[in-house]
Structure 1
Amino acid sequence: MTDAPLNPVQIENNIRTCSERIHEGVTVCTERERASRKARRDYEAAYSQAYLDAVGPAHEKKHRAELATRTQRAEAEEAEVLFKYAERTAKAVEAELRAWQSVGASVRLMYGVETGVGR
């Protein structure tokens, strides 16, 4: 990004771009949340089955089930990380939109003062 002065058209284009990214982000967040929840369900089902299949005292069954399902747990955790990343990205784009709106207000004020509008 350069330090060149911005004009209202550039600001409007940036606001429009942010708005489009926010709209797309809703879909991305929903897909990532859906994948995260499915991965968590798959892990929990696999863990429960591994626990039921394990032999020995309860505390040993728990550890055997954890070891048997570590791949599913890692997949569930990775899916959750991707979902959280999508959420953080969406929040960042919303903050960017607010910043552009603020810049737009400043530029409109500057243009209004320079052209004598609003006196």
Structure 2
Amino acid sequence: MAGVDVIDEHGVDVVLATLSKLSAEVTVSTAHAAKGREWSTVRIAGDFPEPLDEEDTTLGGDPRPGEIEPSEARLAYVAVTRAQHQLDLGGLSWINQHPDGNPTTTTSSTVVSR
């Protein structure tokens, strides 16, 4: 049903009254600025690209997952720990397909776990 049809069927006043009862608060933040803050629901943006090893490729020539830089792992940790109730991994969803679900890092002192 198109918006015009809804207005025709229910009237402008009913549609406006219904819309006034709907609200959503959206906060957009960088992971750096989010440090120390919390929100009920967090969705990770698409700017956390999967690290790829261009020198280690599959038979098809696609690069395999690479090592995660410790600074990137720490930033991802900050980002995902801002959620109090619900987390949408969004741009970090590749982490679930990483070998063993435990990406390696360039140092043994940094661990990223689920």
For Structure 1 versus Structure 2, the TM-score category normalised by the shorter chain is under 0.3
**Relative CO higher for 1 or 2, CA cutoff 8 Å, sep ≥ 6?**
1
Q: What TM-score do you get using the length of structure 2 for normalisation? A: 0.26
Structure (1/2) with the larger strand percentage? 2
